[in-house]
Structure 1
Amino acid sequence: GNFVNKNGFQDEDGFANWSITVNPSGSTLNDVVVTDHPSSNQAIDQSSIVVYRTIVQPDGNIVKNPYFTLKEGTDYSVSLTTNPATGEQELKVEFLKQISNPYIIEYRSFVFVTNQPNQKLTNEVSVNGNNNVTISDGASSTVDVVVLDGSGTAVGDMGDIVFQKVNSENQPITGAEFRLWDKDKTTILREATVDENGKLTFGNLPFGDYILQETKAPPGYTISDELMNGKKITISEATTDATDPTPIVNEPNKVILKKANATGTALSGAEFKLEQNIGGSWNAIRTDESFVTNQNGEIEIDGLLPGDYRLTEIFAPPGYIVNTKPIPFTVAETAGGQIPDITLGPFINYTGSIVAVKQNESGENLAGAIFEVRDSEQKLVKRVISGKNGRIVVNNLAPGTYSLVEIRAPRGYILNTKPVTFTIPDEQEGNPGIIQLGPLVNYKGSVVLVKNSDSGDKLSGVRFDLYNEDGTIVKRDLTTNKAGEIQVTNLTPGKYYFVETKAKAGYKLNSAKIEFEIAAESAGKPTRIELTAVNYAKDDPNTPSTNGNGTNGTNNTSGPGNNGTNVRIEQLNLPETGDTDNAIWWASLGLILISVASISLLRNSRRQH
């Protein structure tokens, strides 16, 4: 039977239009492949290929049914190969299902012509299939070229152009794929891949303008916007005669990581490791390279293939905490074949910060305390003072162990010399936050005075005044309680003394100063100073001698405090309230004075006589 027919014509735009009738005899055929070899002075427009169902007219004429077309990929497949240097093409249309009716394949081709007369286009088509036996048939067709100026033709002397794909260092690279379009970018004339030397020749083409488009970049490189969209080139006598290829430069795709501190200042010296997700696990890649931020705080990584990656910091810039939070990113190829550059960040390196509040024992905030921040070698790092709200903030601390040491207390408070230690970690995932230290407490001094009798009984009702060192009274009429105690708190650092002003009834007044000192500093909460004083009963025969000072009794300290020294007792000649021995003393003194006066009068009388 007859298995293939072919005819063609040139339309008013200059395109050659071809029609191939497959299986006009209506045989039942399997594995049908239609192969077409057009002459090299034309280029098949693959996008124009359509396979139609047919109508057999009463006279036996076969025409296409314009309303019923086969579906590419389901009913048939198409492959088109082109020799980029010569323009020779092979078109294959394979029917994917058994056929038993005629079909018509239509397509058009772009025409290349010179200014010579009587030019022709030829086409040779063959059909192969089987119907219990292998069948083969062929047909050819010729079209005279009559249109020399149209969108479907290119006219001129034949020439070629040679390209070479290179990187930015002018080194040949392979793997790039290109398309060559007509000057209006309506028809693909050539498609090819560069050879092992990065070279590609487009030949047997009329002199004139064309559009060169890169459709696939070499691995690790990206396509420029110009080549992705299509770059105008010209085939001419010069390109045909050129001895050196025209270079086409590909830049590698770039991933740029920016590193900065919390204020936005670029940081150099941060080092990262690069990993790729392969089969669901992260694997270190390019381990022979160092990824370290430059003086602009940037790392540039070139030539990554499409895939999922992450960067993780392994060394921070000096003085900063390693930020171990991974930085994921994906390198992807666009539909246009580009691998866009990626900019990450800025990603932050942090320093350490602490905050604390200076308070007294009652929780009131204290201003004016001065602290030093010292490193592990006790070298001064910073000084800071508590503000009106007692708040202390220290920022920009490098990783390490520190101590916060008070060097001046708020006015009226004891210097707390106990260091507060804290550590800024070497690494942290993300922002380490602010370390909150506990309240930093300043204390005032306190003292308890215990009044005992000589027999050890606690004496209540004994009254004292409290003075500071220069004799200014601090508190009046402090009276011992049932336990024989006087307790005084909120004392500022300095020297003080108690003076007994009223003894308990039946006891002699102990008028000695009871001195003590509130230390200027203490490592933590100071110990309360404990003082004891003794009063003797008036009729006690064991009352210590006063040595003519008019006082008796003893005073001393017990327990720690008072700056580690004993209380100094100073005897004072003060009236002893309620002491009846004073009357006898005054009476005796009066008798002596009367006796002296009488003797003086007697002597004066004798002299007169």
Structure 2
Amino acid sequence: VEVKAPKGYKQLVDPITFQIEKGMTKSLALTVENEMLDKGNVEITKVDKDSQKALAGVVFEVQDEQGKVVTEVTTDKEGKAKISDLSVGKYKLVEKESLPGYKKLTEPVSFEIKKGMTKVLSLKVENELLDKGSVEITKVDKESGELLEGVTFEVQDEKGKVVTKVTTDKEGKAKIADLSVGKYKLVEVESLPGYKKLAKPVSFEIKKGMTEVLSLKVENELVDKGSVEITKVDKDSQKVLEGVVFEIQDEAGKVVTKVTTDKEGKAKISDLSVGNYKLVEAENLPGYKKLTEPVSFEIKKGMTEVLSLKVENELVDKGSVEITKVDKDSQKVLEGVVFEVQDEKGKVVTEVKTDKNGKAKISDLSVGKYKLVEKESLPGYKQLTEPVSFEIKKGMTEVLSLKIENEMVDKGSVEITKVDKDSQKVLAGVVFEVQDDKGKVVTKVTTDKAGKATVADLSVGKYKLVEVESLPGYKKLEKPVPFEITKGMTKSLAFTVENEMVDTGNVEITKIDKDSKAPLENVVFEVRDSKGKVVAKVKTDKEGKA
């Protein structure tokens, strides 16, 4: 019976039988054959390549030469796994499950079980920590948590070199795999409309042995500023208006900024904080109505476009007129002249009177055509016969100035009153000539039963009143009465012309034959006064008269 076999040999299982017989002279020779061992054992030790720390939980398959799995083992807490009774042959140790954070062996570990192996075959298998990592970005709205698609990021290494570029998907995610160990920056290169672009990059680090995807939640704030572009235009023509000044006021009425429209009628206000505002027209253009109501608008979070405000201005549809009334010749201002302002249909719109400066102002006349009609002129001045036409147009920027000249009256009237010098009794039937300064007869008049004769519309100038036929019993005026018609005469020139009764008489003698009554010619008579003095001597004519 084999109690102990040599190293590397199988111990005999069956005893060797032999017999000792009587009379044996020679020693009995026994040849005992032992087979070398045909099984072997393997012990795997799994360690971290760098730290040599034992790694528990790594699963290996032992495969024979044909790739058939002979057994499967898992390393224990000491990083060991033992495989016993492996038949002589060639094997491969294949890592089936590596530890998180470690690279899985890509190449199997080959070993061989040889006959007569007396020791356990020890295999030390080293695993490297992973030197790559992955990052998953989740892009969300800071306030609502809404996932944001379409945000583009660059992944830059420590030196600022772009490693890769990614864009978030519809779930707001972007994954970057196989980043080598190192420090990185996540730089937002394209934000979404309405969102603030990240001002600072997001730093992260890929470390050896990372077992999970590094999750980075990146929040974006909605833009809290906005811009407004004002376009100022004429309401009717849509022509752009340059030079209109606006104030931007906040809700409290505080002026935030002041802008003026440019040659394209535009004014832009940038970086207005979120809130409610009013656009107040501070200075309008001449000829345009100033906006009476402010334009309200609101800057909201996340505004992606410039807020466009089209502001229309109407041309002024009222106008003013200032009349200046002057003397045509002297240009002296004339107070107290009354005018009516009439519209196109002749309707009286208003009535005005010139002041001490000769002026009368009519304000707030609506657009349209008008006539200025002189209703009351000044004494001594001709009243305007033709109205003065004018028009109030849209967009009038200045008071329409109308200078109206009045001519002084250049005609005058004379009223002659003929009376008896003593009794002042009026004398009808006296004939006068009105002669100009050259003696030319202008007109001839006869006093009426009231003793009056009126000469109207005498032009300015010097005249003489010449009595051409007096009344019987009255002395005829020997000297003409001079008078003058001057410009601006407001009253008739009145003359009272007195006539004296004659203080002598006339005698007519008629000398005839007593019987035949025939006139007697050449009869001489003396006329003597009461004292016998001859006053006159006369001779009858062929008609017997003297």
TM-score, structure 1 as length reference: 0.34
The structure that is helix-richer by fraction is 1
Larger Rg: 2
Q: TM-score, normalised by structure 2?
A: 0.37
